[in-house]
Amino acid sequence: MSDLATHAGGTHDAHAPHGGAHGASLGDAHGDAHVAPHKDYVGAKTGMWLFLFTELLLFGGLFLVYAVYRTLHAHEFHLAAASLNVPLGVTNTFVLLTSSLTMVLAVTALRRGDRASTLNSLFWTIFLAGVFLVIKYFEWSAKFAHGLYPGSAHLKELPAGEGLFFGLYFVMTGLHGFHVVVGMVLLTVIALQVRRGRIHSGDFVKLENAGLYWHLVDLVWIFLLPLFYLTN
């Protein structure tokens, strides 16, 4: 009798982990479908900052190349920089700084539960990003019209230092411009989620992280302005 009880108990124990695990996984699936999924606000924001650090490395490497070649070709860099359109560069700085303001106002408005203001601010952020790209389009078109574009014959005839300046100008403002395009798409997706109520005052980390990305784009431009436009 005692043996039988032990045996029965042993059998039960041996099966318990399997049964338990099975039960738990069923429970999880049930939880995902009907209960609010687990959220990690700090973890989400930490992850965003880690991504931003990789962005800093991406642009940092280019800034390093710029620093080395500007030191080696100081005179040519000044000559080449003089041909850039300063008013357009400065206007774009004002545009991006203002879009950064509307971005942070969007995050603040959502945290205060004001969805209409959030959407309004996001619209202006995306609109100003578009204005930035339109100005960039006219600026680059003028350069192209003067035979200045990556790999152009005119660029190859210029002294090495000026060629390097324009090479870095196109790569760095081009990479930055690409980030502006990505930002416009990202902010549009986020704005739609805000409108559908999927991002709200109780769960706003996606909007906040999109904001961090947008401010980084602004941050990079803050450094590009003096390096390229104000070097004459």
Partner 1 sequence: MSEFDHTLHAEAEAHEPQPYGTFIAVWAVLMALTCVTVTASMFWPGRAGTAVAMAVTPVKASLVLLFFMHLKWEPTAFKVMFLTAVSLMALFMGLSFVDYLYR
Residues within the interface to partner 1 (CB under 8 A): 41-42, 45-46, 49, 53, 56-57, 60, 63-64, 67-68, 71-72, 86, 90, 93-94, 97-98, 100-101, 103-105, 107-108, 111-112, 208, 211-212, 215-216, 218-219, 222-223, 225-226, 230-232
Residue 185's nearest CA partner among 220, 213, 218 is: 213
To partner 1, the closest distance from the beta carbon of 172 in angstroms equals 15
Nearer to partner 1, 87 or 197 (CB): 87
Nearer to partner 1, 108 or 188 (CB): 108
Q: Which residues pair with 200 in a beta bridge?
A: 203
CB–CB of 183/215 below 8 Å?
Answer: no
Nearer to partner 1, 108 or 193 (CB): 108
Q: Please, which residues have CB within 8 angstroms of residue 221's CB and are 6 or more apart in sequence?
A: 92, 93, 96, 176
To partner 1, the closest distance from the beta carbon of 119 in angstroms equals 16
Nearer to partner 1, 100 or 173 (CB): 100
To partner 1, the closest distance from the beta carbon of 200 in angstroms equals 14
CB–CB of 219/53 below 8 Å?
Answer: no
To partner 1, the closest distance from the beta carbon of 89 in angstroms equals 9
Any alpha helices (H) in 73-198, and if so which ranges? 74-81, 86-111, 115-145, 153-157, 160-195
Q: Please, which residues have CB within 8 angstroms of residue 189's CB and are 6 or more apart in sequence?
A: none
